[in-house]
Amino acid sequence: MTVADQSSLLDQLGRVHRSLRISVTDRCNIRCFYCMPNDNVRFKPRHEILSFEEVTRFVEIVTKLGVRRLRLTGGEPLVRADLPRLVAQLARIRDVEDLALTTNGLLLAEQAAALRRAGLRRVNVSLDTLSEETFQHISRRPGLDRVLAGIAAAQEAGFECVRLNAIAIRSLTDAEIVPLARFARERGLELRFIEYMPLDADRHWQQVDVLDGETIRRTLEAEFGPLKAAAPRHASQPATDFVYVDGGGRIGLIRPVSQPFCGDCDRLRLTAEGQIRNCLFSAREWDARRLLREGGSDEEIADLIRACVWAKAPAHGIGSEDFVRPERAMYQIGG
């Protein structure tokens, strides 16, 4: 099969792509060491960042190719001015079935209600710790109280799901597993632990620093009792889900290092400056911005998207001898 023969977003392994992550900015109001450098951060000039209208046109095209789920990311998406306007534009696109956002939560208390009214359905909030000291060690900025206020505001705004994302780093967040789980259980929040990945700008990641999912599961069961495997909400989701046997809610483990989920991956990404990526760890990008700004037709953009997906590698290869880290850090790609 050639790229020209494809009528949907199919790669060479037969994976059909239905999920798009859209970075709306590379800027952020904190400096988490697993994502960004602390100083001398080089953000893209604002004129290079896609406009809301350019993002909307791209989504209108990609949904015609089968994409149904969208997630807005950054950087920190809530630092992008007037974000509810983009949410409203995307929510009106006929084939969008799910519209979500990932945020560090610092600005969420002020924006949660407006985002929900605009059509945002779900929100993920990064919360690695309930200790201000550890929060500042990770983020290199203060603000845990603002994140907690943002979580409360999101629940009050009535999102379909408010989920917590916690990065798991050995010898740093081990002690946070139980407090975070208890916090989520008491408030009816879903919690996902995510293994630390080699996407830090300072390039200090080592595999020994990964707090693996199996260790997290054992820690949770020792405190709260057995966990039972739960059916995934969709087959390609990155998390393995569990429910507490005592009825205490749902928990997920995302294990890109210890148990990669590449075989079921259906995601592609659009960076803030309009580059399409078929994997977080891709060494290549496809330039959609050029076509969007230089008169490219919808079919030319669709062909570019198909070419990107068709070229997707079988797996990211973390831990293998031939693994090559991407040149760009997480904040530059989009979480």
Task: Say what the pLDDT of residue 6 is.
Answer: 47
* pLDDT at site 320: 61
pLDDT at position 73, please? 98
The pLDDT of residue 7 is: 57
Residue ranges for the chain with pLDDT beneath 70: 1-7, 199-202, 317-323
Q: What is the pLDDT of residue 322?
A: 67
Partnered with residue 228 across adjacent β-strands are: 243
> In angstroms, what CA-CA distances link 204 with 133, 320, 325?
21, 18, 12
> What distance in Å separates the CA atoms of residue 315 and residue 206, rounded to the nearest whole number?
19
CA distances from 235 to 205, 241, 242 (A): 29, 11, 15
Do 109 and 150 contact (CB within 8 A), yes or no? Answer: yes
Please count the other Cβ atoms lying within 10 Å of the Cβ belonging to residue 230: 14
Whether 290 contacts 304, CB under 8 Å: no
According to the model, what pLDDT value does residue 199 have? 63
| pLDDT in the model for residue 315 | 79
- Where in the sequence is the domain holding 292, given as residue range(s)? 3-333
Q: What is the CATH number of the domain that holds 136?
A: 3.20.20.70
Could you give the number of structural domains in the chain? 1
